[in-house]
């Protein structure tokens, strides 16, 4: 854990400067967008505005991801407030929409429960959990298949998130190790084993639980349960 903490600090230092530059230039572009309104096609203008806003938003999320790496070795202060998990999912899917468009053989569906309880959480960290789970699902179904994102309440007033895929599945003998730091089932160069352990740390920080069921050749299902706010 001490080694991971040192690594996280080093990563934060190395990427903060280029990240600040990217964010700064994107802010500059956004300030100048008004000068070209009416001089270009409206559709092109809208695209530039959307892309610029997304770059800025993602820079901020990268900053929060770096901070969340520190959860491996010590607690990190986070902004806990009422959060709509469905809204987190919708935002995350918007961020990943271009990535999904490149995956022509993958079909993504959602089934979001309208009466999902609000949870007390850190929105940025929760989005990171969703992105990690979806990224793993995409990797598992890279030869084609389906990914389904479901939310629902349970009998204990928890908000439940389920990410299912029809991909390659995970062998039974390694499922207990999936949430360990640096453990990965991916080939060399495809992952370092931080994603699911980060998910585990974030979910535990939210007093929740994360579990997996999987069968080789049939796919996997990751289930996250986080206590709802009791009114």
| CATH code where residue 149 lies | 3.30.565.10
Q: Tell whether 23 and 97 lie within a shared domain.
A: no
| pLDDT recorded at residue 170 | 87
Q: Tell whether 147 and 195 lie within a shared domain.
A: yes
Triad 14, 15, 17: Cα angle to 5°: 90
Q: Tell whether 42 and 89 lie within a shared domain.
A: no
Beta carbons of 199 and 179 less than 8 angstroms apart: yes
Q: Tell whether 96 and 205 lie within a shared domain.
A: yes
**How many Å from the N-terminal Cα to the C-terminal Cα in the chain?**
37
| pLDDT recorded at residue 159 | 96
| pLDDT recorded at residue 1 | 47
| pLDDT recorded at residue 21 | 85
Whole-angstrom CA distances from 15 to 22, 28, 59, 97, 134 are 11, 20, 11, 25, 24
| pLDDT recorded at residue 118 | 95
Final residue in a domain of this structure, among 53, 72, 91: 72
Digitized pLDDT (tens) for each residue of the chain, 231 residues in all: 455 555 556 666 677 778 888 888 898 988 888 888 888 888 888 888 999 999 988 888 777 666 655 554 444 556 789 999 999 999 888 878 777 777 778 899 999 999 999 999 998 889 889 988 998 898 888 888 999 999 999 988 899 999 999 998 888 888 788 887 655 655 444 444 457 888 888 899 999 999 999 999 899 999 999 999 976
Whole-angstrom CA distances from 4 to 178, 187, 203, 216 are 17, 21, 19, 31
| pLDDT recorded at residue 98 | 74
Q: Tell whether 17 and 111 lie within a shared domain.
A: no
Q: Tell whether 174 and 90 lie within a shared domain.
A: yes
| pLDDT recorded at residue 73 | 44
What is the rounded distance in angstroms from the CA atom of residue 199 to the CA atom of residue 178? 11
Final residue in a domain of this structure, among 72, 92, 116: 72
Domain count, the chain: 2
What is the extent of the structural domain holding 103? 81-227
| pLDDT recorded at residue 219 | 92
Neighbours of 228 (CB within 10 A): 19
What is the phi-psi region of residue 189: left when phi exceeds 0, alpha when psi lies from -120 to 50, beta otherwise?
A: left
Q: Tell whether 98 and 155 lie within a shared domain.
A: yes
């Amino acid at each position: 854990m001490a080694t991971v903490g040192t690594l996280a600090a080093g990563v934060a230092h190395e990427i903060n400067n280029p990240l600040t530059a990217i964010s700064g230039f994107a802010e500059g572009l956004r300030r100048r967008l008004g000068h070209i309104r009416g001089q270009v096609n409206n559709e092109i203008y809208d695209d530039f505005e959307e892309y610029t806003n997304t770059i800025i938003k993602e820079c901020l999320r990268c900053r929060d991801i770096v901070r969340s790496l520190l959860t491996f070795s010590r607690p990190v202060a986070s902004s806990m407030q009422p959060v709509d998990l469905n809204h987190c999912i919708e935002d995350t899917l918007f961020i990943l929409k271009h990535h999904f468009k490149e995956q022509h053989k993958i079909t993504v569906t959602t089934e979001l429960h309208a009466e999902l309880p609000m949870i007390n959480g850190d929105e940025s960290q929760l989005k990171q959990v969703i992105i990690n789970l979806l990224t793993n699902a995409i990797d598992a179904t890279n030869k084609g298949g389906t990914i389904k994102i479901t939310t629902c309440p349970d009998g204990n007033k928890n908000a439940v998130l389920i990410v299912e895929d029809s991909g390659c599945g995970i062998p039974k003998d390694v499922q207990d190790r999936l949430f360990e730091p640096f453990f990965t089932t991916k080939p060399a160069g495809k992952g370092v084993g931080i994603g699911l352990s980060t998910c585990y740390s974030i979910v535990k920080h939210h007093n929740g639980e994360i579990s997996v069921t999987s069968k080789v050749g049939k796919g996997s299902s990751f289930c996250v349960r986080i206590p709802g706010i009791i009114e």
